[in-house]
Amino acid sequence: MLFSKKPATLPDAESALPGRSSPISTASTHYVFGRDLQGPVPDGYETAVFGLGCFWGAERKFWQQNGVWLTRVGYAGGITPNPTYEEVCSGGTGHTEIVEVIFNPKEVSFAELMKLFLENHDPTQGMRQGNDIGTQYRSAVYTTSDAQAETAREMIATYEKALAASGHAAQITTEVKPLDKVYLAEDYHQQYLAKNPNGYCGMGGIGVSCPIGLGVTS
């Protein structure tokens, strides 16, 4: 079993899998919205990228959010170019499973998406999410602007205080970095729970509300 043993640490450039020069095959149409899955971002819309465990259940949370134009799942935050799902699951690429969210900021703010992100997983667990163990399940926000980065860090700090006040001593381990590249996942992963309504979800928050305070509204 080539990918049965998962490392708990991220690979460096020398040890990461080589990947490939061409993108892997994926879907052409969003199964829920019927829109071009790989089309351009509409004018005035923004992109946000979140990793919160298994991307099957995570994607559904975001496509159900008002103001979201499109969602697509993939891999980000790693080294290996154009990785496959099996390679990401091996821990040898450095990527985590993510949901790329294209949204209308006039209908939903990045802060509201951050709130959805924080409340629907446990951001204190490091290289895992519940029973899903591995570097590909780490909590992450890959930002596409300085404003997103500032909002993400402010809200994480606020949520950490809310967790402490509720008796959760663990610190948040969410990775916040500028987005480098999203590699779209294979066809069968896209909108998986719309295609398989009884499929594995794995989503679960801590049960603590994340406040959106004054000055955290972008």
Answer for the pair 175, 210: CB distance below 8 angstroms, yes or no: no
Q: Which of 54, 89, 201, 210 is catalytic?
A: 54
- The token pair that represents 155 in the structure block: 């809200």
Contact yes or no for 81/103 (Cβ under 8 A): no
Distance CA 137, CA 69 (A): 25
CA–centroid distance for 115 within its chain: 13
> In whole angstroms, what is the distance from residue 204 CA to residue 218 CA?
25
**Does residue 89 have an active-site annotation?**
no
Question: Are 75 and 110 contacting, i.e. CB atoms less than 8 angstroms apart?
Answer: no
d(CA 142, CA 123): 14
Question: Taking Cα atoms as reference points, which of 168, 180, 94, 189 lies closest to residue 143?
Answer: 180
Positions annotated as catalytic residues are 54
